[in-house]
């Protein structure tokens, strides 16, 4: 086969894969000629035919929202979690003496609930890195609905981001992300390179607590030993399983993660240079596994 013929063949194969399915014509545009109903171009399905509203924007991801929007938008049908008024982060910010005028790096903003809290607490700048394209777009919707003048969202993996990051921040907010990592201690080490202060909320592994709960008893597994530049700790493999079937899935980018133990997390934080560590919001009986809020700062 000539080079040209081979290129044409490859292109045809490529284009065959991107041909759009034809959808039935919606009622507003239905037309029939000669008795047959014509199909509307599928691209028109993406158009809204009502006046703009917050609900219309939220409904782009209908059924996928975790958070309830803050007042005056709390009557919009989104999620139910009060992540725009989260007592755990409020505690962290109080412990840190506030964030007014500071630069914040936020890892995994999901729907920008905490971004909203940081903005309203007076942060000078918030750079929020989100890997899920759907969550990233939900953050942009939130930004447009509530207004987040100090925030900027980046779509990408925060581990890869941290590996190429030269800039430093006054604070890193890493809430709900450590237990979604395949290398959790590696994340703590990376955070320590860019921020002298970190707020974390995370689940952790505790075999006894797991055994005590019907929801987690099946997740009691053997530990694996790891090393972080001389600091030894244990991790426990966690499979996402059926959670991966949900469009609202908000875990990590692999099909599994590794959970650390409480002491392992605190020890790793000390090992990477955080000398002052405060904890609160201990929930050993949390339905999804024991959880804790942590503020760690360098002296
Ligand atoms: C459980 S949610 C936590 C959301 C929010 N920070 C909170 O505490 O409520 C985890 C978020 O981190 C994002 N995420 C997980 N792994 C990531 C990665 N490697 N890079 C960027 N975002 C990630 C997920 O898509 C999701 O939005």
Residue 184: closest CA among 283, 243, 262: 262
- Tell me, using a 6 A CB cutoff, whether residue 184 lines ligand 1: no
> Model pTM?
0.88
Could you tell me if the CB of 130 is within 6 A of ligand 1?
yes
The pLDDT score that the predictor gives to residue 182 is 97
Cβ pair 110, 130 in contact under 8 A: yes
> How confident is the model at residue 84, as a pLDDT?
96
What structural domains does the chain harbor? 87-297 (3.40.50.150)
Q: Among residues 277, 67, 260, which one has the least CA distance to residue 178?
A: 260
pLDDT at 31 over 80: no
- 297 CB within 6 A, ligand 1: no
pLDDT for residue 22 is more than 70: no
Give the tokens for residue 271.
């090992």
State whether the Cα torsion 73-77-78-80 is positive or negative.
positive
What's the start-to-end Cα distance of the chain, in Å? Answer: 70
Phi first, then psi: what are they for 3, rounded to 5°? -60, -40
pLDDT at 176: 98
Q: Whose CA is nearest to atom 5 of ligand 1?
A: 109
Spatial CB neighbours of 43, under 8 Å, sequence gap ≥ 6 = 20
The count of C-alpha atoms lying within 13 angstroms of the C-alpha of 218, restricted to the half-sphere facing its C-beta, is 5
For the segment 85-102, the average pLDDT, to the nearest whole number, is 98
Residue nearest to atom 15 of ligand 1 (CA): 252
Alpha carbon nearest to ligand 1 atom 13, residue: 108
Write the DSSP string, 218-264.
Answer: GG----EEEEETTEEEEEEEEE-GGGGG-TT--S-SSSEEEEEBHHH
Q: What is the mean pLDDT of the chain?
A: 89
- Whether ligand 1 lies within 6 angstroms of the CB of 129 is answered as yes
Confidence check: pLDDT of 6 > 50: no
**pLDDT interval class at 203 (50, 70, 90):** very high
Q: Give the other-Cβ count within 10 Å of 241's Cβ.
A: 10
pLDDT in tens, 139-150: 999 999 999 999
For residues 20 and 52, the model is more confident at 52
**Is the pLDDT at 105 greater than 90, yes or no?**
yes
User: Can you give the pLDDT at residue 217?
Assistant: 87
pLDDT digits (tens, 9 = 90+) for 50-61: 999 999 999 999
Q: What pLDDT is recorded for position 215?
A: 85
Closest CA to 179 of 291, 43, 38, 103: 291
215 or 171, higher pLDDT: 171
Question: Where are the alpha helices (H) located in the chain, listed in sequence order?
Answer: 3-18, 54-58, 87-95, 113-120, 133-146, 158-163, 184-194, 207-212, 262-271
Give ∠ CA 85-89-90 in degrees, rounded to 5. Answer: 70
Would you place residue 26 in the very low, low, confident or very high pLDDT band (cuts 50, 70, 90)?
very low
Statement: residue 1 has pLDDT above 90? no
On whether the CB atoms of residues 234 and 221 are closer than 8 A, the answer is no
Mean pLDDT value of segment 74-90: 96
Do the bridges between strand 151-155 and strand 32-33 make them parallel or antiparallel, or are there none, so unpaired? unpaired
Ligand 1 centroid distance, CA of 174 (Å): 9
Question: In this predicted structure, what is the pLDDT of residue 5?
Answer: 43
Contact (Cβ atoms closer than 8 angstroms) between residue 82 and residue 76: no
- Give the pLDDT of residue 135: 97
Long-range contacts formed by 93-97: CB under 8 A, 24+ apart: 93/117, 93/118, 93/121, 93/199, 95/278, 95/280, 95/295, 96/171, 96/197, 96/199, 96/295, 96/297
- Here the tokens at position 264 are 């392992």
- C-alpha distances out from residue 38 to 35, 42, 65, Å: 9, 12, 35
How far apart (Å, rounded) are the C-alpha atoms in residues 191 and 175? Answer: 12
158 lines ligand 1 (CB under 6 A): yes
For ligand 1, mutation pick of 81, 118, 131, 151 (most atoms within 8 Å of CB): 131
pLDDT, one tens digit per residue, over 157-192 is: 999 999 999 999 999 999 999 999 999 999 999 999
Q: Whose C-alpha lies nearest to ligand 1, atom 19?
A: 157
Ligand 1 within 6 A of CB of 253: yes
């Amino acid at each position: 086969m000539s080079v040209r013929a081979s290129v044409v063949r490859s292109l045809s194969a490529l284009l065959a894969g991107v041909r759009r399915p034809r959808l039935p014509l919606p009622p507003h545009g239905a037309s029939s000629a000669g008795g047959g109903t014509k199909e509307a171009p599928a691209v028109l399905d993406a158009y809204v035919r009502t006046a703009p509203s917050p609900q219309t924007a939220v409904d782009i991801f209908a059924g996928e929202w975790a958070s309830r929007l803050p007042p005056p938008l709390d009557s919009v049908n989104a999620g139910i979690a009060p992540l725009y008024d989260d007592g755990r982060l409020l505690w962290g910010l109080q412990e840190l003496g506030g964030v007014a005028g500071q630069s914040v790096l936020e890892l995994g903003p999901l729907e920008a609930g905490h971004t909203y809290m940081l903005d309203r607490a007076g942060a000078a700048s918030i750079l929020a890195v989100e890997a899920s394209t759907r969550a990233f777009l939900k953050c942009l919707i939130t930004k447009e609905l509530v207004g987040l003048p100090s925030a900027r969202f980046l779509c990408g993996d925060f581990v890869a981001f941290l590996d190429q990051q030269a800039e430093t921040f006054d604070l890193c907010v890493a809430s709900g992300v450590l237990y979604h990592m395949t290398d959790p201690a590696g994340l703590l080490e990376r955070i320590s390179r860019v921020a002298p202060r970190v707020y974390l909320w995370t689940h952790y592994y505790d075999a006894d607590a797991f055994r005590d709960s019907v929801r987690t008893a099946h997740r009691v597994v053997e530990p694996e030993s790891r090393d972080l530049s001389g600091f030894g700790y244990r991790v426990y493999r966690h499979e996402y399983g059926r959670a991966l079937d949900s469009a609202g899935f908000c875990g990590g980018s692999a099909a599994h993660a590794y959970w650390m133990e409480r002491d392992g997390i605190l020890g790793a934080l000390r090992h990477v240079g955080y000398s002052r560590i405060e904890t609160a919001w201990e929930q050993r009986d949390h339905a999804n596994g024991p959880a804790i809020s942590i503020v760690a700062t360098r002296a």
